[in-house]
Amino acid sequence: MIETFLYAKVQIGTKIFDPLTPTLDFNLSKCHIELSSQGQIGKITATIEDSSGALQADIACGKQIDVWLAKQLPFSTKFFLGKLEKRNILQSVPDAVEYEIEGAHITSRLTHRIVHFARIQKRLSDGVSVDNTDNTTLIENMVKDIVQKTDVYPTGEPTLETADGITVSGVESTSLRIPEYICDYKPASDALRELGDVSGRTFWLDEAKDLKFKAPQVLDSGVLITDNPDSVLAQGWDATKLATILQDDTFDLEDSIVETKNRIFGIGGDEPVIDQKQETTSGGQDALDTLYRAQKLSPKELRMAYVAVYIDKTGSPGVDLEGEIREDNSNTPQGGSLIKVFKVPLTQIGATGWYIADVGADKINTSKAVWLILYKKGSSGNTFRWYRDSSATSTRATSSDGITWSVVGSTYSYAFRTYSATRLLSIGDDEASKTAYNVRETVISDPSITERKTMENLVNNLIGVSGKLKRTFTCTIYPPDTMMLIGQSVRVVNSKLGLDDLFEITRMAFDMEEGVPAKGVEVEGVVFV
């Protein structure tokens, strides 16, 4: 037999409204609760009657609000957890006091905390290729860091884990990295949304304060929502997970391509590409303690974004490695126009290898050669050494003061790499969608993404959803004994509309008016087809 009503137990602080036991510390005359995913904030609005006016200290801003829903005892499904954020006291007659309250779901805590941190992936010895054994930039680890690590909070306040009891067991593994992620004073919710966009995940906090960070429709609730509880399918279903569509309410099924985009241009930051190089290092090394040393080379690209040199250090130089790029002047650095100065901090120089420096030169004259110069540094036994090959086909130069140069032709070449930079562009297409709905294009831009794989992941995750038709159902159901949760998938069958599909629950709402228990819960779900 299907029950007639759905009851709510509401606890504010220590005061309880429970119509079934009953425990009536206050009278709840109206209650509206709305929950949603996609990082949106659930809310509760309610009207509470207090004839004695004695509850002002209990029904107060900052108090925790817990709501359970049930057809009958016990109240086992917690539907809402949040904080009371607004209270309005109404006194219409001397003996009648009402509180109109508003509360925000626990997910709102993610909007109230500011995070400020950077995670930069280690590089291999070439100075550019990322080290895929460095897991600090795994998206799931950065998500957990936002909740758990003190270094992401700029003022040293307790973490979300410590202050609010938030856990991270619902954070899915993505196996995706962002080589460089800089979060510059943003709400934690904004940082989670950015990480979710790249990985194709959405997030929210459940009623146990556990952070969910997951791909759509990966959590199957096992619930069937049907318009015919007498059908063979419904009769064979787990009775505790069977929900019935209320027949006296509207079932709304919407198909939309308003937001459909079947071609995405993903534009990132500058992607480094090697322009010129000499990578042989077996010919020996020359110290920089007494001489400036320069290597002549001929760039092909207009931009020189970075330069890398193969060096080591002896003893304790005590200074940074510095150098410059200078235009050639009749086969000598002397008198040539200075293009850019660069530096590799001493703290970044460890074992022998490639070390990269930011140059940022945008207008190289490719009709002329340039000189890559390393400055004289340190003292005997406490300096840097530049490695070289043993060829006799290059041109180099030395100087004791950086002004007057001695040029040597038909000689060995120092080990170097110069990098140009091109704007990272990745294009994603949904061919079936283009055929069905014509080409519908959009652009996403994120200058912080400089690795092609990361941008490709972002574009592919977005095109996998954005190119499809969005199908949304909305109806009121008499819920199952085992309530589905936001973000879980449910099977929806409407025999009159010929509908039978899996939808992800994106919204649920509960209403109680004039103290009368509700007949059901309004639910909304989405599937992309």
Q: Tens of pLDDT along 475-519?
A: 999 888 888 888 889 999 999 999 999 999 989 998 888 767 787
Which residues is 338 bridged to in the sheet? 326
- Comparing 50-54, 109-113, 172-176, 326-330, which segment has the lowest mean pLDDT? 50-54
Share of the chain above pLDDT 70, in %: 96
End-to-end Cα distance, the chain: 36
- The larger pLDDT score, comparing residue 224 to residue 518, is at 224
pLDDT at 515: 64
- Comparing 15-19, 128-132, 325-329, which segment has the lowest mean pLDDT? 128-132
81: left (phi over 0), alpha (psi -120 to 50) or beta: beta
Which residues is 227 bridged to in the sheet? none
Residue 216 and residue 226 in contact, taking contact as beta carbons nearer than 8 Å: no
pLDDT at 437: 95
pLDDT at 430: 95
- Comparing 33-47, 305-319, 363-377, 468-482, which segment has the lowest mean pLDDT? 33-47
Residue 42: is its pLDDT beyond 80? Answer: yes
Residue in this structure with the two tokens 């759509």, named with its chain if needed: 216
Residue 269 and residue 448 in contact, taking contact as beta carbons nearer than 8 Å: yes
Cα–Cα dist 328/299, whole Å: 12
Residue 127: is its pLDDT beyond 80? Answer: no
Mean pLDDT over residues 155-178, rounded? 91
Residue 15 and residue 519 in contact, taking contact as beta carbons nearer than 8 Å: no
pLDDT at 4: 60
CA angle at residue 237 from 233 to 238, to 5 degrees? 175
From residue 40, give the alpha-carbon distance in Å to each of 36, 148, 202, 527, 528: 6, 22, 10, 18, 20
pLDDT at 228: 94
Residue 52 phi, psi dihedral angles, 5° rounding:
-85, -15
Cα–Cα dist 326/292, whole Å: 13
Q: Give CB contacts under 8 A, 24+ apart, made by 278-281.
A: 278/389, 278/394, 278/413, 278/414, 278/415, 278/416, 279/310, 279/415, 279/417, 280/388, 280/389, 280/390, 280/391, 280/413, 280/415, 281/310, 281/387, 281/388, 281/389, 281/415
CA angle at residue 81 from 190 to 56, to 5 degrees? 115
Mean pLDDT over residues 301-319, rounded? 94
Residue 150 phi, psi dihedral angles, 5° rounding:
-70, -25
Strand stretches in 227-262, DSSP E: 242-245, 252-256
pLDDT-based confidence at 1, cuts 50/70/90? very low
pLDDT at 224: 96
What amino acid is encoded at 384 in this protein? F
